[in-house]
Structure 1
Amino acid sequence: MSNLLVLNPRECEGKTWHPPVDLDFASSHALLPLHGRELARAAASMPLALIQGAKGWQLVGVCGLAQGHNLFIREGKWLGSYRPEWLSTWPFEIVTQGDRGAVAFDRDSGLEDEHGAGEPFFDDQGEMYPAVSSRVETLKASFTRHRATQKALNALAEAEVLTPWPESLRESASISIEGLYMIDERALAELGDEAFLALRKAQALPIAYALNLSLTQTHLLARLARINPGHVAAPENLDDMFDGDDDEFSFDFDS
């Protein structure tokens, strides 16, 4: 579990950090988290998949052929046409308790300056410095989209339309990453009217369609592996669907 520093003036007093200068921090992340608002651009840029983790199902962009190497990042620069939002918010994340949330800094990121020579999180008036506030605003804006995405993924799982990537697909693309899931199109087509309507109400259908359509992008991974091999051997507008959520949620930066 991450060693987190909750973001408020009291907890952050006297502490400083160094904003990342490039994307090297994600060069070993072959899977990057996404939310539903990113579907259209991400699906046209990389294969998408669902994975099951400690917090349930998660939508991810598949950015590598094997764990430990992100093919889209070379010398700290992003090579793809769409850059996942998560890259612009790290090393901050949202932690929740009940209906309240707080933003926290990952102290295991290596960016905290224990000698106080970095940038402060807050100024003397308790206001966030720009490098912090820009990340916090992005996190807050995307939070409801992630929650809506989670509801949609839960609905897909309950409808029993998830299936592992075919072994033939993984072999043809030389992908060794385990635990990638897609939509069973036959199971989706055979759903009864009530079950199908439930997926539509949960805004799960855009994810279902985008997931399988994105699999044509697996060829891009092989092309990237040739120009950025690392240690790996080379081998409708959906943006508005997750624009908001009716659930109320508040963030606390004062306590």
Structure 2
Amino acid sequence: MPRYELITKTGFAAQAWRRVDSYAFAATDAVAPLVVQELAKACMSLPIAFIQQNDAFVPHAVQGLEPGRNLFVVNGTWVTPYTPAVYRGYPFGLAQGDGDDLHLCIDMDSGLVGAGEGFDQPFFDEAGEAAQPVKDALNFLQQIHRNRAVTQRVCAALAAEDLFQPWPLTVQSPDGERRVDGLFRIDEARLNSLDPDALARVQKAGGLAVAYCQLLSMGNIQTLGLIQRKLAEVKTRMPEMSDQIDVDGILQRHKSSEPEQTLEPVSNDNVVNIASDEGDFDLSAFVKAKQDD
């Protein structure tokens, strides 16, 4: 678990930090929250679902098919084109102060805070002011925080029109089928049947863009199946190469082999197959030769 500490002059003047060079800290996150500002980019490579939290629905990137495993992090590398904003601010975080005040914190267990060689980013400049990269981190996290409130309002407008429905996702594995519960999607049939007044309310709230981003993203759920199948295949066939698998190369190879897009759906977005791989290809081309020290 992260251990965040408030950044102060007295506590951090003699320390420094370094930038993230691995996403291992996110390797156990099967889902990650998203905000509306990033959905247009996220939906191009990540499957998006809504998760109900109390009475609210929150958009999330679906990153794994089982708890505790993020398939988009392989050997510390993020392997898809888009990285959720919640990770791009790390190791920094925000703490709520009095009223609406937000204070910048940093994860002391991240391994990215210290003194001496390798820690090249000071927290404060020679004048005792916050260094520009620290200011940039605070500004970025504040933007996410503000957009989270916008996201809540948009999702509330979608919920008011009863536009969320369970996403009955099934994973087919060598051990049989299992359900992934707790995910919701946009009810496309209901969206298309809204009367003009209801549709206008959703549009005014910014809900149409969110709805279409989620629906568009659902085909990306098959990417998770592809990654899990290929990682399992490497572990079985070439276990000594498991830490050198070129997942980006596999994804590019898979993309280039997909049939041309038609108006007809090409896959069932409710089923992910991790038991077998149609159209298999030689994995040996997708392991990176280990460099000698």
The whole-number CA distance in structure 2 between the counterparts of 1:35 and 1:100 is 21
CA 1:192–1:55 in structure 2 vs 1: closer, same or farther (change >3 Å)? closer
Cross-structure match for 1:191: 194
Q: For the structure 1 residues 55 and 158, does the alpha-carbon distance in structure 2 shift closer, same or farther, using more than 3 Å as the test? A: closer
Match of 1:149 among 143, 151, 160: 151
* Cα 1:94/1:213, change in 2 over 3 Å: same
Query: Could you say which residue in structure 2 is the equivalent of 1:104?
Result: 105
The percent of aligned pairs where both chains have the same amino acid is 30
- How far apart in 2 are the matches of 1:175 and 1:215? 19
Match for residue 23 of structure 2?
Answer: 23
Partner residue, 1:158:
160
> Displacement of 1:187 after TM fit?
2.8
Cα distance between partner residues in 2 of 1:139 and 1:55: 25
Contact 2:171 2:274 in 1 (8 A): no
The C-alpha deviation readout for 1:160-214, integer Å capped at 9, x for no partner, is 2111112xx3335977543111111233234343332222121111111111221
Q: State the structure with bigger RCO (CA 8 A, min sep 6), 1 or 2.
A: 1
Q: 1:228 aligns with which of 211, 227, 231?
A: 231
Alpha-carbon distance, 1:144 to partner: 2.9
Answer with 179-188 or 22-31: which moved more: 179-188
CA-atom RMSD in angstroms: 3.1
**Inter-partner Cα distance in structure 1 for 2:100 and 2:200:** 28
Equivalent position amino acid for 1:31 in 2: V
Aligned-residue offset at 1:120: 4.7
Aligned to 2:212: 209
2:83 is aligned to 83
Alpha carbons of 1:127 and 1:49: their partners in 2 closer, same or farther (altered >3 Å)?
Answer: same
Task: Pick the structure with greater CA Rg.
Answer: 2
CA contact (8 A) 2:45 2:81 kept: yes
Q: Is the 8 A contact 2:17 2:113 kept in 1?
A: yes
Question: Which of 131, 134, 138 pairs up with 1:132?
Answer: 134
Which stretch has the larger CA shift, 50-59 or 40-49?
A: 50-59
Contact 2:49/2:185 (CA < 8 Å) preserved in 1?
yes
Gap runs ≥5 in structure 1: 236-255
Retained in 1: the 8 A contact 2:186–2:214? Answer: yes
Structure 1 pair 109/158, CA: closer, same or farther in 2 (3 Å)? farther
Q: What is the rounded CA distance, in whole Å, between the counterparts of 1:10 and 1:56 in structure 2?
A: 40
**Offset of residue 102 of structure 1:** 2.6
Matches of 2:198 and 2:44, distance apart in 1: 28
Conservation of the 8 A alpha-carbon contact between 1:31 and 1:60:
yes
The question of 1:57 aligning with 2:60 is answered no
TM-score w.r.t. the length of structure 2 is 0.66
For structure 2, the 5+ residue unaligned runs are 236-272, 276-293
Give the secondary-structure state (helix, strand or coil) at the position aligned to 2:102.
strand
SS at match of 1:170: strand
Distance 1:197 1:72, change over 3 A: same
Q: Which amino acid aligns with 2:33?
A: P
Number of residue pairs matched?
Answer: 230
Query: TM-score scaled by structure 1?
Result: 0.75
Secondary structure of the structure 2 residue equivalent to 1:65: coil
